[in-house]
Chain A
Amino acid sequence: MTTPISVFPRLERLLPRVSKPIQYVGGELNARSKAWDDVTVHWALMYPDAYEVGLPNQGTQILYEVINERSDALAERTYAVWPDLEALLREHGIPQFTVDSHLPLGAFDLIGVSFSTELGYTNLLTAIDLAGIPLHAVDRDETHPIVLAGGHAAFNPEPIADFIDAAVLGDGEQAVGVITEVVRDWIEQGRPGGRDEVLLRLAATGGVYVPRFYDLTYLQDGRIAAVTPNREGVPARVSKHTVMNLDEWPYPKTPLVPLAETVHERMSVEIFRGCTRGCRFCQAGMITRPVRERSIHGIGEMVAAGLAATGFEEIGLLSLSSADHSEIGEITEQLADRYADDKIGLSLPSTRVDAFNIDLANVLARNGRRSGLTFAPEGGSERLRRVINKMVSKDDLIRTVSTAYANGWRQVKLYFMCGLPTETDEDVLEIAEMAHDVIRAGREASGSRDIRCTVSIGGFVPKPHTPFQWAAQADPETVDNRLRKLRDAVNADRSLGRNVGVRYHDGQPSLIEGLLSRGDRRVGAVIEAVWRDGGRFDGWREHFSYERWTRCAASVLTEGGVDLAWFTTRERDGDEVLPWDHLDSGLDKQWLWDDWQDALGEFEQDDCRWTPCFDCGVCSNLGTDIQIGPTGGELPPPEGRRQLPLISR
């Protein structure tokens, strides 16, 4: 293969004509650019959204470093280009490019696309098409890159099965190594057997799902009859990957520091992976089990190295529920002490209502910085919170927000969902009551009338590999109606309501997200039709078109008894073959079903970190185990600071 040539000289002339050109030039601090000819395997890592969203993505940054540390491979990054640049690229015949060395995407051996959300699917098609790669995997040959999907959405990649060559489930750190080696050997052997053979070799590892090696048959009523491998050596079920011992994987070590403004600009450290709180709506919590903590020592090392490499002014302690780390008190306190003089703030993006306390409040408020406090009761009523297994009581919430208001916070944000299984208008209207009580308690605790509470509401989307995977999604009209009533109820008491802000998105994008989340291979044609009709950036309100999605779905889904409603607002039976049944997240389908029944019966499920194992199946099926502290350790000793030579005065 010849060394590809940078498109930058051609791109550069177009940049003055597009918005925020800085997002396309690369050159970020800590960016890598390895010599093409020095390695065998070339990865392009794509985050299928705008640069400002994609750059901070932890998964992409981790894999970027892990691959670039290998001697046999390199990785460059690419992001979705906005429609203004897309039009110019087409007009001037310039392909989709990487931002590091501005190489054409089609020259790479692998394109790894990280899907945090299904709403990035149309952007995948834009990138593949701009790269000059055939849209459909079956039309590609061995000169084309292997298009590989990862991220949470890859746990049901069936809607994009036509467009990807393979999908990888779970943690990528080790999986990219295995894939690199398979592809490297195949390239070095002279690409025997062409594209088919390299895909077969990947599938044979048991950890790479290659859709073309599985046939689907359907029942007359539209349901799936069976998913069966059509090749020798292809596993009937593909397993997710689980990285054990996070301390051995301290990535990203040198996070990228963008010049352009992005959505998260902080030194993020993943303090643990996985969550067993068992919220039944939460796909992330279900598919990332078991809980694996990074030790306080490991966290301290990553923070010190990362701050030195970036100069960020905030440390973000990431996880699905950060206050649940077994040593969160020690971690936050020691970090706040260590970096007090540097004016570095601390943030915990996901804090449970019941885990927030006065100590944590004080630590987060050091240096006068009070980053926003968000709590997520998720369900408006106690009953509904039992259904979703998010067991925080209203008393907990009032106590917690009182603590926050008493400690100087003037604003608290509460996050809820609407359209949850079994939900009624009354459940949602209780949110108004809760918001009023929060304002009352906050006024008393702070001694001020000038406080705010923002209620933010998202539409619930049932997700694969969760107990709610069988549930009927609420239609947009129901959701919009309930939210209108809620807004009226909040404002019914002006003296309290004026301190409450209600923010919600209408239910329409959620329904399409639902189609893409629980759809099967027949949904691929809808995605393609929407994309051909101009659909781009579906995660962005100003670009999303519900009219386009419903129109295209109606025109494409005409056979086999399926339509948009069938994929979304239809409740599934226990015996239905789900499109992702052959993809193994470790969770037992029977356990998920039992948990679904428990939800309908309003029974709660405990957390296996503090109570006996309840056999969700993950550890026994995948040979993994919970890894939690406390370790009793502490932050590593501070390193000597570089000091500029002083002059005396």
Chain B
Amino acid sequence: MAKRQPEGPPPPPVVQKVRLRYAKRGRLRFTSHRDFARAFERALRRADVPMAYSAGFTPHPKISYIGAAPTGVASEAEFVEIGLATAVEVEALRVAIDEALPPGIDIVEAVEVAATGARSLADRIQASHWSIELPGVAAPAAEQAVAAFLAVDEFPVQRLTKDGHRQLDARAPVVSLCVVPGGDAAVTSSAILDLVVRQVTPAVRPDDVLSALREVAGLAPSAPPLAVRRAQGPIDANGTVGDPLADS
């Protein structure tokens, strides 16, 4: 039997690609990647964004999601790319989508992609910069654990996935890890870690590094650590994570 095709002309093509940076903040950091995708597609409708659609019986809007921060982890640097059937002003587009999303999921930057020659967004994500607050952990204890962790070349940790336990190396992709002064330590009594991790598959996340710190030095925060992704993008020779939307 021949493949059935919808009647009528094919959908209009993509004439404009836009890359968006969004933040996941406060209580909405508990949004999962799937939750975000649903909310984002509804926001595109509310904002009347002239999306381009795929062909077929169940047309899908042209959206590419880039690997997202884990559920419960806040981020200032998440990325998504959309394809439009009509070219629009990019800043007006950013504002319209942002207004259509609940406060806490905020579209912070929008950049149009050059028609040809632009490297894919996924290719530009080489590393991730995290900040992790450890409630109830004093800075010296954190520094000791970090030093012990950095002293080794390899640090296998277990991660519980839905397919069971999985082992990965939490040390090799770590570009830098240090304890930063986090305001008045006497008041907050929370050490803050600054972490840069190279993008590998599977990705090493803050949780994996914290597992290693717990194992190597018994580091045990009194409450769940609060991780925030500060940036993700290309990494330079100094280990600084750059903006993947620059020169799109």
**Interface residue ranges, A against B (CB under 8 Å):** 8, 12-13, 15-17, 21-22, 24-29, 31, 257, 259-261, 265, 307-313, 342-343, 367-369, 448, 641-649
> Are B53 and A644 in contact (CB-based, < 8 A)?
no
B243 CB-CB contact with A under 8 Å: no
List residues of chain B with CB within 8 A of the CB of A313.
41-42, 45
List residues of chain A with CB within 8 A of the CB of B57.
368-369
Question: Quick one: CB contact mask for B210-238 with A, threshold 8 Å, 1 for yes?
Answer: 00000000000001100000000000000
List residues of chain A with CB within 8 A of the CB of B6.
368
B86 CB-CB contact with A under 8 Å: yes
> Are B46 and A308 in contact (CB-based, < 8 A)?
yes
> Are A29 and B35 in contact (CB-based, < 8 A)?
no
Complex Cα distance A311/B100, Å? 9
> Are B104 and A27 in contact (CB-based, < 8 A)?
yes
B183 CB-CB contact with A under 8 Å: no
Complex Cα distance A24/B46, Å? 25
A21-B59 contact given A15-B30, A27-B103, A645-B88, CB 8 Å threshold:
no
One of B89-97, B174-182, B188-196 contacting the partner: B89-97
Complex Cα distance A342/B38, Å? 16
Given contacts A257-B102, A259-B31, A343-B59, 15 further A-B contacts (CB under 8 A): A13-B223, A13-B224, A21-B72, A24-B30, A25-B27, A259-B28, A259-B36, A261-B38, A310-B42, A311-B42, A311-B43, A313-B41, A369-B58, A644-B88, A645-B88
Complex Cα distance A24/B59, Å? 33
List residues of chain B with CB within 8 A of the CB of A448.
1
Complex Cα distance A485/B58, Å? 39
A22-B31 contact given A261-B38, A311-B100, CB 8 Å threshold:
yes
Complex Cα distance A265/B49, Å? 20
Q: Which of B31, B71, B92, B223 contacts A645 (CB 8 A)?
A: B92
B63 CB-CB contact with A under 8 Å: no
Complex Cα distance A309/B105, Å? 17
List residues of chain B with CB within 8 A of the CB of A643.
48
B15 CB-CB contact with A under 8 Å: yes
Q: Which chain B residues (66-101) contact chain A, with CB distance < 8 Å?
A: 71-72, 86-89, 92-93, 96, 100-101
Closest to A408 in B: B4
Closest to B1 in A: A448
List residues of chain A with CB within 8 A of the CB of B102.
27-29, 31, 257, 259
Q: Which of B1, B45, B56, B92 contacts A644 (CB 8 A)?
A: B92
B144 CB-CB contact with A under 8 Å: no
Complex Cα distance A129/B45, Å? 42
| A-B pairs with lowest CB-CB distance, top 4 | A311-B42, A368-B57, A311-B45, A311-B46
Q: Which chain B residues (1-56) contact chain A, with CB distance < 8 Å?
A: 1, 6, 15-16, 27-28, 30-32, 34-36, 38-39, 41-50, 53, 56
List residues of chain B with CB within 8 A of the CB of A24.
30
Complex Cα distance A43/B135, Å? 36
List residues of chain B with CB within 8 A of the CB of A641.
48
Complex Cα distance A643/B1, Å? 43
Closest to B7 in A: A368
List residues of chain A with CB within 8 A of the CB of B41.
311, 313
Q: Which of A25, A312, A367, A369 contacts B28 (CB 8 A)?
A: A25
